[in-house]
Amino acid sequence: MEQPNYWERLARKRLSRRKLLAAGGVAALGGGAALVVGCGGSDNKNGSSGGASGSSRPSGAAGGSPRPGGEVVFGRLLNVGGIDPHIDLTGLDIDTQLYSYLYNWDPINEVLLTNNFATAFEQPDPEHLDFIFSFRKGVLSGPNGGPAQGEELTSDDVRATFIRRGTSLTAPDKRFPYRIGGTNDVNKLVLALDQAIQTPDPYSLSFKMQQPFVPSIREMANPTWGIVPRKVIDKFGLRLSQQAYGSGPFMLEQFRGSERIKLVKNPNYFLSPRPWVDRITYIVITEAASLLAAFESGDHDVNGAVLTKKKFEEYQNDSRFTVARAPSLFYPCVEFKMKPPYSDIRVREAIDMAINRDDFIDAIWDGEANYNGPIQWPQFKWSLPQDELRSFYTFNLDKARANMEQAGYGDGFNARMKIPKVSGATFIAQAAALIKEHLSKIKISIEIEEVEVGTFIASVILPGNFEMTFFPNLPYDEPDRPLSFYHTRGVTGNGNWTNYTNPALDKLIDAQSEEFDEEKRKQIIYEAQRMMIKEHGPQITLPGGYAYSARWSYVHFPFEIGQPTPKDIGPYNVDLWTEEGT
């Protein structure tokens, strides 16, 4: 059942009970070929004009009935540091296949999809503080040798999951759990969540938030909210990075995060006979040319390498392959620690003006890209207009040099810029080198320090262990998360990693997170972004564009990234099938 736009429903603020029911859908990671890295080096990944575009040819799923059985092999560029959905951030696409979730989310139509554990969700109060869930009966953990194998998933497992995810040290956003528990004190949060979350029976759960939070519905479909059975949590605690015992469509057969990951079909899955395939294997090759060669030779069914525009067009004209293209929500950004020299807005403005974004587009994106403001351009509803961004972000070396002189840095300074090391994604190092070249023209001498991506997340970004850093930020499809990087409390709710604070901006960011009227929220978000760009930091966003995917045409997905979500399909890879099945 299709629903009206989520924001339109919420804007009505009716006193009557509203059941948000839907059928079919796709996991937040997408229903087409998985894009491991969403922006490419010297590959296009960008679009000069906005609309999302899907496959260059119709998805094969439309041309035939799914065949059960068989194996699909995915190439993978990045090592998987772990598969604990509440702790590890490098294997979230794997987690979505191993665990059940409350529901999934269609980011294009902004609708909740009850194709997972929850069958209904209600918010009876006009302030959107009450959350009431009804759960599906008969959802069983797989026969995987875990302490809950074969047992039914219940509301108590969801409660245990909320507490574990909400208090995890590496959870990317604790603002939602804080609002459920009514406290920002991490030491009190476990007890607060335990008291706030009610489970009147095995198939019902409810809680009342202490203040409104518009992104909450979207947040609970985030891949970090996988439902881990309480018995598994009790037995393994935090030791789930190398093992998994869930009720998702697949079970873990083998985990070697730097080599291969093997998943096998869960025979207990509630959407039986799906998933269609018997096995999914991920082969990790961190050298780009070798990864691409393995795909072209047929060793991999789904490409995991970052594609260039040229390679995409080559595959597009080859009937052996199915390709897809969609605007990438990953966005490159430079961040500063707000201390001298970066605490001086004249220095930040000089850096902003010394970066030639059009040169960046030509050199990194093959001439096809859009400017990014604080919110990425593919968030069409919320991002600032392109003409406004292009008018603001002017390349002006004379003004940049004058700013440096006025700030007392006419002779420049030395700086270390930390970047994630991803051997197969050379565009990161290429983009960093271009930034270094641009800033040298105002006598800022950049030393680039590459840090292995897992270490970069855990030891550089999350603790704020940098003076300057460059990285492609995550593909957020809701505007609150990109804005929160500028908030005093940051994206985690515990404080941002740049030491930036602006009380006036904090008020705007808080206001949009509580405004359910879409048009009013949009105006607040526009005002916040216009304030942010005039600050020239602590985050400077650079152009971004398109992501490409490719697979052999005998592999079928129910739809491609960037296409509308079909009805009556399951979570990620549940409806994947191969003509090489039995």
Output the CATH code of domain 331-541: 3.10.105.10
- Average pLDDT of the chain to the nearest whole number: 87
Task: Give yes or no for residue 60 having a pLDDT over 80.
Answer: no
| pLDDT the model gives residue 42 | 30
CA dihedral 373, 378, 384, 385 (to 10 degrees): 120
pLDDT, mean of residues 408-437: 93
Taking 3-state DSSP, the helix, strand and coil percentages for the chain, each rounded to the nearest 5, stand at 30, 20, 50
The answer, yes or no, to whether the previous bond of 341 is cis (omega within 30 of 0) is yes
| pLDDT the model gives residue 298 | 97
Among 192-201, 385-394, 538-547, the minimum mean pLDDT is found in: 538-547
Q: Where are the domains of the chain?
A: 6-249+546-578, 331-541
The C-alpha atoms of residue 333 and residue 468 are separated, in whole angstroms, by 11
Q: Which residue has the tokens 């574990």?
A: 164
pLDDT digits over 66-106, tens only?
999 999 999 999 899 999 999 998 899 999 999 999 999 88
Among 50-59, 280-289, 362-371, 504-513, the minimum mean pLDDT is found in: 50-59
| pLDDT the model gives residue 389 | 98
Q: Where on the phi/psi map is residue 182: left (φ > 0), alpha (ψ -120 to 50), or beta?
A: left
pLDDT digits over 63-76, tens only?
479 999 999 999 99
54: helix, strand or coil: coil
| pLDDT the model gives residue 51 | 32
* 217 contacts 114 by C-beta, under 8 angstroms: no
Among 402-411, 521-530, 562-571, the minimum mean pLDDT is found in: 562-571
The C-alpha atoms of residue 193 and residue 538 are separated, in whole angstroms, by 33
pLDDT, mean of residues 394-416: 98
Task: Give yes or no for residue 329 having a pLDDT over 90.
Answer: no
Task: Give yes or no for residue 49 having a pLDDT over 90.
Answer: no
pLDDT digits over 298-327, tens only?
999 999 998 988 999 999 999 999 999 888
Task: Give yes or no for residue 235 having a pLDDT over 80.
Answer: yes
In this prediction, what percent of the chain has a pLDDT beyond 70?
89
> Confidence class of residue 8 from pLDDT cuts 50, 70 and 90?
very low
CA dihedral 468, 472, 473, 474 (to 10 degrees): -150
| pLDDT the model gives residue 582 | 62
Query: Do the domains 331-541 and 6-249+546-578 match in fold?
Result: no
> Confidence class of residue 32 from pLDDT cuts 50, 70 and 90?
very low
Output the CATH code of domain 6-249+546-578: 3.90.76.10
Among 118-127, 235-244, 346-355, 360-369, the minimum mean pLDDT is found in: 360-369
The pTM (predicted TM-score) of the whole model is: 0.86
Among 34-48, 316-330, 562-576, the minimum mean pLDDT is found in: 34-48
What the block records as the tokens of 464 is 């704020």
What the block records as the tokens of 566 is 């079909």
pLDDT digits over 152-192, tens only?
999 999 999 999 999 987 776 788 999 999 998 888 999 99
Query: Strand 279-284 to strand 71-76: parallel, antiparallel, or no bridges (unpaired)?
Result: parallel
pLDDT digits over 332-374, tens only?
999 999 999 999 999 999 999 999 999 999 998 888 899 999 9
Among 103-112, 118-127, 267-276, 498-507, the minimum mean pLDDT is found in: 103-112
Strands (E) across 381-533 are located at 413-421, 444-452, 468-473
* 469 contacts 460 by C-beta, under 8 angstroms: yes
